[in-house]
């Protein structure tokens, strides 16, 4: 037996492994070994690298391990238990460890994933776990993964300035807490730590297999697990989605607005280009050091990179060459799912001033010798300041009017209204007599107010009317809420309770009367009746958003009403108050369908009664791209029932907005302004059915059609389609239809607003479109309609 004593720093000695092996195998008592190296060497020595101290003085005897792992008594289960963890999570052979490769870039900093191997047995039932080898094995030629030894802090072990590979590292004896030092053949460590390092070389998915060879755990002498990458996906978000420029004068310095491009995904976002549908060079984009002029399709080579969870700032410049409003859609193309769009508009939101009343101020009857006052309110309805430069009376020949306010605005001392601010001016009429014509009939005193401001229409005129009344008859007054102009599907309250009688009398009787209404507006009444002071004007219906009953005006156009009143002496008002309200859509594109069925004598007989059922259809350009059915109509194709050689767009799923798909998603994923909405669907009478798009998509042609779904026995119906663009009536189409017919009415090209027939020609005058009889589809067959 060979024995060598090693001198220690503390003067004690330490035997080599050869001696330790001999002692370890002694089964009885203590082993005494003589040293040959002098007095510093004791007769008892420590084990090799167990961390057990040797003798501090001669005569101290080293302990041996309390068990022989190779010769354990029967019934004693003493072994090691290999456990691999990533952080606090146990690693198994069946579930791969996943690295998010999108957290770095090609050639960028590596991603280190730390692992530790522990001996998961209690000290009383354990033996040492010896790690003989750790290595990672990847497919041939793959260099993305490497295995690096780690120290007790989890950091890479460095030798000669380089990380030590796992396969080249000497691992200690992995033991549990309070394990006997004498029972370890190597330096004791609580865990063997290593790192799997990933260097991104490309965007392909990667995988490596980690092999661990050990001694001590009979159940896992060879343990393997896999590490693989996931690339993640980029996601693009651009804000704001609408960029609205202030008023920019032609030739002025460009106005600049910022755009934030955010990568909300897990992988690097690659901006590959920009698309501009409009040939409009008034807009310019600056992004990532590149400048793109509007009206071009630009490819970024190389792409602009935006790391995950970061952003990129861009700028849009607006430099108009004239004073016309501009709109464009800016589209960013990228490796993200779907493209991001930004709606650009300039010189559309010019300074805005809302004047109430807008055109005329009627005092109606004013008792001779008395004063009546009414307000004129001006409100800034835009974003920028509005300068009121003048507010003055004119053409007051009989000098019956006065502006009761003190200092009035002038060009030198304007009144400046900030956003949403308003100013009120009080106008008074004080007639000294009646103003009768040659036939003795009373006529109003007239004058006007000239209002000048800084808006696009800087000169406004409000006409004044006031009729002197010597007869002391009561005066009817109508106050409209919310005002003289409202949108379709709005509630209009008319208040007659502001009417008054000559003192000391009071108004006790009211009578409302409808003078005129838009064609097709059926069932418009005063609610609860026409003999109360305050009423609601409209038709009864159901709010599709809330399901609640409502009285509202649904058909666009002008409604004119009058009010007569009586005082408590039975005296009737000398003249009725006549009031007009204009129902106008505020969205960019509004399509309205109405119909009249001559055989249905009571078309406004309620929602539960039978009546002709016509349906409005509006389709997106993509509806024309459907596959044409070659035989049987299925959900995967569209029929060609008009026999023009192309698939028909109607009933085409998401790209046809009608009662079955009343609110499809057509445009940008980040905004609903470019999506359509069928606000009303009528099934039993006369309509209306309304479709709205607040901000239509540039480059899209919208098709408009009508389908006669079910006559319910009432025969032919006369359909009317009205198309409004930017609040103005563009065209009216009228067509008699029979049950199951499809009326290809018109197409609307955006942003020009031109109307096209279904051959693509621009209408010079409204056309009746084309009718296809017995029109059905796979959808309508499923719903058991139009099978006749």
Q: Show me where the domains of the chain are located.
A: 1-64, 82-230, 236-346, 350-470, 472-584, 589-782
From 171-180, 442-451, 768-777, the region with the lowest mean pLDDT: 768-777
Helix, strand, coil distribution of the chain in percent, nearest 5: 5, 45, 55
The DSSP symbol for 180 reads: -
pLDDT of 107 over the 90 cut: no
| Class of domain 236-346 (CATH, top level) | mainly beta
Cα–Cα distances (Å) from 312 to 126, 300, 304, 309, 641, in that order, read 57, 15, 10, 11, 50
- Same topology, domains 350-470 and 589-782? Answer is no
Q: Residue 737: which of 637, 615, 590, 570 has the closest Cα?
A: 615
Place of tokens 């409003």: 325
What are the tens digits of pLDDT across the range 642-658?
A: 888 888 898 888 899 99
- Rounded to whole angstroms, the Cα distance separating 241 from 692 reads 20
pLDDT of 477 over the 60 cut: yes
Task: Name the CATH superfamily for 82-230.
Answer: Immunoglobulins (2.60.40.10)
pLDDT of 421 over the 50 cut: yes
Show the CA angle centred on residue 443, arms to residues 437 and 444, nearest 5°: 145
What are the tens digits of pLDDT across the range 484-528?
A: 888 888 899 999 998 988 878 899 999 999 999 988 787 899 999
Strands 242-245 and 340-346: parallel
- Rounded to whole angstroms, the Cα distance separating 416 from 565 reads 41
- Record the tokens describing residue 522, joined without a space: 């059926």
- The number of angstroms, rounded, from the C-alpha of 298 to the middle of its chain's C-alpha atoms is 26
Assign 3-class secondary structure to 574-628. Answer: CCCEEEEEEECCCCCEEEEEEEECCCCCCCCCCCCCCCCEEEEEEECHHHHHCCE
- Rounded to whole angstroms, the Cα distance separating 731 from 747 reads 11
| Class of domain 350-470 (CATH, top level) | mainly beta
- Please report the pLDDT score of residue 100 as a whole number: 85
Q: Which option is the CATH number for 589-782: 2.60.60, 3.40.50, 1.10.3470, 3.20.20?
A: 2.60.60
The CATH number that domain 472-584 falls under is 2.60.40.10
- Please report the pLDDT score of residue 39 as a whole number: 35
- Kindly list the strands in the beta sheet with 97-100, ordered across the sheet, starting from the edge strand earlier in the chain: 97-100, 222-230, 207-215, 129-137, 173-174, 188-189
What are the tens digits of pLDDT across the range 62-103?
A: 578 988 877 777 767 889 999 999 999 999 999 999 998 877
Count Cβ atoms below 10 Å from residue 495 Cβ, excluding itself.
15
pLDDT of 47 over the 70 cut: no
């Amino acid at each position: 037996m060979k024995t060598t004593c090693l001198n220690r720093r503390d003067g004690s000695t330490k035997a080599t492994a050869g001696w330790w092996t001999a002692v370890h195998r002694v089964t009885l008592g203590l082993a005494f070994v003589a040293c040959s190296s002098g007095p510093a060497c004791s007769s008892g020595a420590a084990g090799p690298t167990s961390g057990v101290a040797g003798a501090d003085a001669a005569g101290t005897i080293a302990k041996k391990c309390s068990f022989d792992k190779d010769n354990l008594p029967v019934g004693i289960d003493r072994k090691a238990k290999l456990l691999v963890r990533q952080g606090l999570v146990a690693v198994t052979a069946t579930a791969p460890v996943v690295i998010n490769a999108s957290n770095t870039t090609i050639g960028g900093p590596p991603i280190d994933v730390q692992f530790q191997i522990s001996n998961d047995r209690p000290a009383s039932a354990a033996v040492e776990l010896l790690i003989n080898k750790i290595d990672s094995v990847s497919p041939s030629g793959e260099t993305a993964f490497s295995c690096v030894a780690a120290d007790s802090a989890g950091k890479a072990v460095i030798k000669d300035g380089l990380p030590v590979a796992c396969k080249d590292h000497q691992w200690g004896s992995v033991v549990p807490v309070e394990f006997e030092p004498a029972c370890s053949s190597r330096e004791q460590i609580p865990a063997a730590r290593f790192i799997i390092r990933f260097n991104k070389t490309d965007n392909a998915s990667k995988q490596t297999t980690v092999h661990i060879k050990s001694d001590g755990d009979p159940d896992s002498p060879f343990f393997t697990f896999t590490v693989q990458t996931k690339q993640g996906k980029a996601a693009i978000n651009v804000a704001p989605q609408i960029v609205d420029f202030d008023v920019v004068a032609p030739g002025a310095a460009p106005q600049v607005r910022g755009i934030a491009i955010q990568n909300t995904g897990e992988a690097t976002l690659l901006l590959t280009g920009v698309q501009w549908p409009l040939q409009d060079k008034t807009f310019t984009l600056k992004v990532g050091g590149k400048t793109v002029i509007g009206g071009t399709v630009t490819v970024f080579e190389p792409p602009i990179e935006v790391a995950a969870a970061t952003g990129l700032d861009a700028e849009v410049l607006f430099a108009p060459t004239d004073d016309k409003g501009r709109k464009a859609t800016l589209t960013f193309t990228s490796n993200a799912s779907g493209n991001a769009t930004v709606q650009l508009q300039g010189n559309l939101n010019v300074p805005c001033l809302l004047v109430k009343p807008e055109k005329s101020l009627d005092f109606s009857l004013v008792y001779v010798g008395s004063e009546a006052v009414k307000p004129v309110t001006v409100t800034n309805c835009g974003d920028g300041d509005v300068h009121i430069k003048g507010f003055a009376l004119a053409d007051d020949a009989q000098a019956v009017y006065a502006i009761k306010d003190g200092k009035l605005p002038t060009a030198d001392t304007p009144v400046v209204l900030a956003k949403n601010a308003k100013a009120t001016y009080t106008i008074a009429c004080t007639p000294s007599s009646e103003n009768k014509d040659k036939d003795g009939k009373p006529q109003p005193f007239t004058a006007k107010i000239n209002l000048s401001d800084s808006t696009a229409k800087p000169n406004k005129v409000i006409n004044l009317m006031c009729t002197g009344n010597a007869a002391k008859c009561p005066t009817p007054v109508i106050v409209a809420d919310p005002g003289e102009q409202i949108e379709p599907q709005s509630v209009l309250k008319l208040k007659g309770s502001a009417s008054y009688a000559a003192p000391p009398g009071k108004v006790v009787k009211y009578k409302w009367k409808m003078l005129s209404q838009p064609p097709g507006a059926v069932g418009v009444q005063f609610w609860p009746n026409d003999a109360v002071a305050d009423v609601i004007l409209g038709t009864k219906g159901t709010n599709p958003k809330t399901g609640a009953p409502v009285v509202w005006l649904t058909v666009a156009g002008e409604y004119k009403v009058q009010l007569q009143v009586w005082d408590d002496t039975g005296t009737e008002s000398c003249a009725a108050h006549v009031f007009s309200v204009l129902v106008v859509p505020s969205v960019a594109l509004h399509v309205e369908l109405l119909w009249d069925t001559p055989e249905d004598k009571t078309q406004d007989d309620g929602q539960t009664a039978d009546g002709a059922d016509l349906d409005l259809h509006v389709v997106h350009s993509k509806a024309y791209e459907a596959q044409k059915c070659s035989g049987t109509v299925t959900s995967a194709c569209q029929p060609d029932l008009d026999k023009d050689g192309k698939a028909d767009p109607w009933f085409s799923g998401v790209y046809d907005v009608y009662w079955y798909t009343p609110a499809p998603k057509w445009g940008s994923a980040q905004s609903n302004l470019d999506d359509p909405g069928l606000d009303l669907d009528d099934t039993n009478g006369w309509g209306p059915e309304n479709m709205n798009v607040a901000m239509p998509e540039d480059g899209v042609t919208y098709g408009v059609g009508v389908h006669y779904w079910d006559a319910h026995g009432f025969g032919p119906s006369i359909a009317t389609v009205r198309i409004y663009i930017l609040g103005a009536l563009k065209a009216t189409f009228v067509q008699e239809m029979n049950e199951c017919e499809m009326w290809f009415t018109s197409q609307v090209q955006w942003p020009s607003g031109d109307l096209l027939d279904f051959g693509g020609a621009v209408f010079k005058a409204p056309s009746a479109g084309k009718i296809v009889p017995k029109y059905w589809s796979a959808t309508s067959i499923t719903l058991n309609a139009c099978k006749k």
